Amino acid sequence: MQPPARQRIGLLAAALWWGSLTALGFVVVPMLFMHLGSPAAAGAMAAKLFGAQTWISSGCALLMLMVFKQKDGIAQAGKAQAAMKFIVAGMLLALLVEFAVAPRIVSARADGGNLRLWHGLGSAMLLGQWLCAGSTLWRLSGRPER
């Protein structure tokens, strides 16, 4: 039996969310630092890419929240409810990195603040977001409940 279209859309959003975080965090940004001339140039480009990732993450999370808010699918409801806390946590982490941590990284770089602290916190929050996206994808892609 095919899952309902709503469930498949949610699964695609989860896959896009996790895949985009994986590609950016583990492939693209490390390559920027390996191949661009200076760490400052690589960091500036990475910041722009992470800003774009925030909107991809938020869009995927909002789409999943809208898709899974409906309560009429019995099989879907259990999976969606199990994933909901990870969806919300991941979206909050994305927004916190963008609006609370990233500006502090920029100001620490400009005025000699504690760059190591803010960069480490941002990296940890990005890892947390990646884990939330992965947990969401894992839960949604499991066998259909009967």
For tokens 């950016």, what's the residue? 24
Banded model confidence at residue 1, pLDDT cuts 50, 70, 90:
very low
Tokens encoding 88: 């919300």
Coil, strand, or helix at residue 130?
A: helix
| Cβ neighbour number for residue 131 with a 10 Å cutoff | 16
| pLDDT tens column, 28-58 | 999 999 999 899 899 999 999 999 999 999 9
- Res 15: pLDDT: 97
Banded model confidence at residue 68, pLDDT cuts 50, 70, 90:
confident
- Res 75: pLDDT: 47
**Alpha carbons 8 and 74: distance in angstroms, whole number:** 15
- Res 56: pLDDT: 97
Burial class of residue 68, CB neighbours in 10 A (0-12, 13-18, 19+): buried
Q: What is the pTM of this model?
A: 0.89
| pLDDT tens column, 79-108 | 778 889 999 999 999 999 999 999 999 999
